[in-house]
């Protein structure tokens, strides 16, 4: 499949590459070389005509500045092979330096450069914690907002996640 390497480059360059720091392992002892991302799953179903790639079963994404695991990850891309939308479902865990995120679903929207976390999302950021029915993270703006009743725990001496 010709577009597979392009798909991997676009997916991680656009969706998850702006985080600073070192990688943290999530089930894969091998750290990829700089600029590389490794996705492992029990199965991959790629549909060039339908513009989708579906990774299922024990999905593990290992990058240089993040790691993610989930039960299933679907990537939707445009006719010109650009990422449009990414949906990770089932036991989603995203690990970044100083931050761990848990959710039932995490969705990335390229057009707005944002993540929407749903299904009991919890962000643990340097011992501070935020929980809400829905958390939206705007990467470019480096901000977040919640919908629904929000619980924020701030550890004394730690930076506040949200007021």
The number of beta carbons lying within 10 Å of the beta carbon of residue 55 is 23
> How far apart are alpha carbons 86 and 74 in whole angstroms?
6
pTM over 0.75: no
Q: What is the pLDDT of residues 24-41, one digit of tens each?
A: 444 444 567 777 778 899
Q: Residue 111 has what DSSP assignment?
A: G
| Structure confidence at residue 132 (pLDDT) | 97
The domains of the chain, with CATH numbers, are 4-153 (2.60.450.10)
Answer yes or no: are the C-beta atoms of 144 and 117 closer than 8 Å.
no
| Structure confidence at residue 81 (pLDDT) | 81
Q: Which of 19-23, 43-47, 64-68, 69-73 has the lowest mean pLDDT?
A: 19-23
Say whether pLDDT at 106 is over 90: yes
- 9 CB-contact burial (10 Å; exposed 0-12 / middle 13-18 / buried 19+): middle
Say whether pLDDT at 1 is over 60: no
| Structure confidence at residue 31 (pLDDT) | 67
């Amino acid at each position: 499949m010709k577009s597979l390497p392009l798909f991997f480059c676009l997916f991680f360059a656009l969706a998850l590459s702006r985080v600073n720091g070192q990688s943290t392992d999530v089930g894969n002892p091998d750290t990829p070389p700089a600029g590389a991302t490794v996705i492992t799953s029990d199965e991959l179903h790629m549909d060039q005509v339908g513009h989708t790639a579906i990774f299922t079963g024990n999905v593990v994404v290992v990058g240089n500045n993040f790691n993610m695991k989930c039960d299933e990850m679907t990537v939707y891309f445009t006719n010109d092979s650009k990422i449009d939308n990414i949906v990770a479902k089932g036991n989603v865990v995203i690990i970044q330096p100083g931050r761990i995120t848990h959710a039932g679903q995490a969705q990335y929207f390229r057009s707005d450069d944002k993540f929407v976390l749903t299904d009991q999302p919890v962000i643990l950021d340097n011992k501070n914690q935020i929980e809400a029915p829905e958390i939206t993270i705007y990467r470019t703006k480096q901000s977040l907002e919640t919908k629904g009743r929000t619980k924020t725990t701030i550890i004394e001496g730690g930076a506040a996640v949200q007021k």
